Amino acid sequence: MASRVFTLACALKVGILAVLLDSGLVLLEALSMAKICDICGKAPVMGNRVTTRGKAKYLGGVGTKVTGISRRKFRPNLQRVRVTSPNGVNTSVRVCTQCIRSGAITKRIRNAPFKLPAGSGSAKAAS
């Protein structure tokens, strides 16, 4: 039983909705997680912020020195975009700008604005 509980905890940690039944673990659907692109799966990654001081040698100085290195998080540039699915339903998804620029998604199809019938406007003007 401990292995099933561990598997359920791992599934929930990565954002998968799962149900633990007597027969085993049943995966229902993947949850939409924050700060992750819904199309390509781009997520935040860790890196370094490097702080320097001094004047560069090509500018006449003695060179730059690293004065500090601290950890930072590089976050994807996510935008909330309305997308038309293949069955015609408009949904809102979080997509990185790289997917938008590459054409990986198609934005929602907007309907034409409402127009009055041709005969109704002329009848009002005549009376």
Query: How many CB atoms neighbour CB 65 within 10 A?
Result: 9
Both tokens of residue 30? Answer: 């993947």
Both tokens of residue 82? Answer: 């309305």
Gap between the Cα atoms of 34 and 83, Å rounded? 18
- Asked if 42 and 36 count as a contact pair (C-beta separation under 8 A), the reply is yes
Nearest Cα to Cα of residue 73 among 31, 37, 100, 35: 35
- Asked if 4 and 11 count as a contact pair (C-beta separation under 8 A), the reply is no
Gap between the Cα atoms of 33 and 102, Å rounded? 22
pLDDT at residue 46, as a whole number: 97
Nearest Cα to Cα of residue 104 among 95, 116, 114: 95
pLDDT at residue 119, as a whole number: 76
pLDDT band at 114 (very low <50, low <70, confident <90, very high): confident
Q: List pLDDT tens digits, range 1-49.
A: 344 443 444 444 445 444 555 555 444 445 556 899 999 999 999 999 9
| Summary mean pLDDT of the chain | 77
Q: Higher-confidence residue: 32 or 64? A: 64
pLDDT at residue 99, as a whole number: 93
End-to-end CA distance of the chain: 83
Place of tokens 């700060």: 35
